[in-house]
Amino acid sequence: MTSPVDHLTRNDNLNRFFINCRWVAPQGTTFADVVNPAREQVLCRIPLGNAQDVDAAVTAAADAFPGWRQSTTQERVTLLARLETLMEESTDLLAHCLSLEMGAAMGYAKTSQVPLAIAHVRTAREVLADFNFVEQRGTTAISHEPIGVCALITPWNWPLYQITAKVAPALAAGCCVVLKPSELAPLSALLFAELMEKAGFPAGVFNLVQGDGPGVGAALSSHPAVDMVSITGSTRAGVAVAKAAADTVKRVTQELGGKSPNVILPDADLGRAVSLGVAAAMRNLGQSCSAPTRMIVPRSLLPEVEAIAARAAREIVVGDPLDLATTHGAIANRAQFDRIQTMIKVGISEGAQLIVGGPDRPAGFETGLYARPTVFSQVRPDMRIAQEEIFGPVLCIIPYDTVQQAIAIANDTIYGLGAHVQGREMEMVRNVASQIRAGQVHLNYPAWDPHAPFGGYKTSGNGREYGREGLLEYFEVKSILGFFTSA
């Protein structure tokens, strides 16, 4: 298989940005290393853009917008279908890229990271095909019109998935976009740009500028010709974008941090609820904003919960991401690895009971950003490990005495992105779910639904992604009174 780095080097797209349907040389002069976390070796270097690069991309998008907004639903559906097919045909290359740039296990990249990214393209296409852009309300027309030029800022933990979750609905709505992927995992974005070019989207509709937050993110957020910014990242980054965007009064949607609860009710099937809860918390090595890393369990069942959780954590196979026997690869970058190690030590110092795992690398690993799947029990809700987003394979088991106390613990956080509830009696399960302040709640580990809107309460952000609600974020709503002659 051709290495993604070799592929991008051969066509020289590694050193260029995609602006106005052309691969162009950056105007900035700084570069950043892209590091393979499994080997702690530099894969390549990428150029970082500046305000001039941003201006060129935004100008291209603004120039393309009048024509693109007039394209028909069928034209956009056809282009999205073509992109979907091209991504499916490139699954191996994309998965290999994700494995190299952010440490995802190859099997996980091929079965989750890439297919779920493709699902966002498919979902946007399906929603668009059935979307009614003008609705009648009496004699008034309610018109949904594309908001304009959208700056899309995506993170390193689900690089391709987060790109398609923003790009696909924005284009479906008739908007033009400038994408700024994370400079820590930027290569999959370059491969995606190649597929956009191959799919045949018109010039200026999709643009890509690599860069960091201060150099490109801030310039996009404050640019007067950008109508909307959508960011997925830390709460700190989301606040910075909102502040930069405030002077031009542009729309800002944010999908930010989380500290999601998993409430295990007394009647739950404990073996299933706990083992799948560990898997959900450790998914993508815990580097998911909605990972249910607070398992809230009946105090009377704590010994049994601890035994099941420890067994499930020990079954995780941490190893070389390119080894197909590996279930969990490397932590995506050094800063995150160090953060995880620090927080594990904080948990020990706070007096939480370490059930499995702990600080440092797993046995047998002298290099590579490998972390030990870690489970703490007897965690108090006020502990730092119960309140702060660790963003790693660290699960906190928190005991409760009554269901109302469990709900209070679930809501005792500044975040409100995701939540889980497990139990046999569905009326109780639904009742608990209704009292949790989070944007998406999963009951008894259902199948993932790409049409289910996703977003946060509180400091987890605002706005929604996925499905119809994700498409609606990219519209302005216009009321035209007297449009219809009769109700």
Q: Residue 34 in contact with residue 3, Cβ under 8 Å?
A: no
Given a cut of 90, whether residue 28 has pLDDT beyond it is no
91, part of any domain:
yes
| pLDDT, tens digit (0-9, with 9 covering 90-100), for 356-402 | 999 999 999 999 999 999 999 999 999 999 999 999 999 999 999 99
486, part of any domain:
no
| pLDDT, tens digit (0-9, with 9 covering 90-100), for 67-124 | 999 999 999 999 999 999 999 999 999 999 999 999 999 999 999 999 999 999 999 9
Residue 338 belongs to domain spanning: 261-449
388, part of any domain:
yes
- For the chain, the domain total comes to 2
485, part of any domain:
no
Q: Residue 456 in contact with residue 112, Cβ under 8 Å?
A: no
456, part of any domain:
no
Long-range contacts of 11-15 (CB under 8 A, 24+ apart): 11/194, 13/190, 13/193, 13/194, 14/44, 14/46, 14/187, 14/190, 15/46, 15/47
Q: Do 232 and 319 belong together in one domain?
A: no
Report how far residue 483's alpha carbon sits from residue 282's, in angstroms, rounded to the nearest whole number.
54
Q: Is 75 a catalytic residue?
A: no
Strands 206-208 and 176-180: parallel
Q: Do 252 and 266 belong together in one domain?
A: no
| pLDDT, tens digit (0-9, with 9 covering 90-100), for 253-272 | 999 999 999 999 999 999 99
Q: Which two tokens stand for residue 338?
A: 């160090």
Q: Do 239 and 192 belong together in one domain?
A: yes
- pTM, whole model, 2 decimals? 0.97
Return the pLDDT at 366: 93
Given a cut of 90, whether residue 429 has pLDDT beyond it is yes
Q: Is 396 a catalytic residue?
A: no
> Which residue, chain included where needed, has tokens 């304009």?
148
487, part of any domain:
no
Q: Do 231 and 275 belong together in one domain?
A: no
Q: Of 84, 289, 396, 465, which residue is the catalytic one?
A: 289
Return the pLDDT at 438: 98
Report how far residue 458's alpha carbon sits from residue 37's, in angstroms, rounded to the nearest whole number.
32
454, part of any domain:
no
Report how far residue 180's alpha carbon sits from residue 195's, in angstroms, rounded to the nearest whole number.
16
Q: Do 230 and 280 belong together in one domain?
A: no
Q: Do 300 and 205 belong together in one domain?
A: no
Q: Residue 375 in contact with residue 392, Cβ under 8 Å?
A: no
Q: Do 154 and 266 belong together in one domain?
A: no
Strand runs labelled E in 21-64: 22-24, 30-36, 41-48
CATH number of domain containing 403: 3.40.309.10
Query: 487 or 323: which carries more pLDDT confidence?
Result: 323
Q: Which two tokens stand for residue 478?
A: 């216009």
The amino acid present at 248, given as its one-letter code, is: T
CATH number of domain containing 181: 3.40.605.10
Given a cut of 70, whether residue 1 has pLDDT beyond it is no
In the chain, what percentage of residues exceed pLDDT 90? Answer: 98
79, part of any domain:
yes
Q: Do 71 and 219 belong together in one domain?
A: yes
Q: Do 269 and 250 belong together in one domain?
A: no
Q: Of 194, 255, 465, 473, which residue is the catalytic one?
A: 255
Q: 486 pLDDT band (50/70/90 cuts)?
A: confident
Q: Do 250 and 272 belong together in one domain?
A: no
Q: Do 75 and 198 belong together in one domain?
A: yes
**Where do the H-state alpha helices sit in 179-314?**
187-199, 218-222, 235-246, 270-282, 302-314
Q: Do 415 and 472 belong together in one domain?
A: no
Mean pLDDT (the chain, rounded): 97
Q: 64 pLDDT band (50/70/90 cuts)?
A: very high
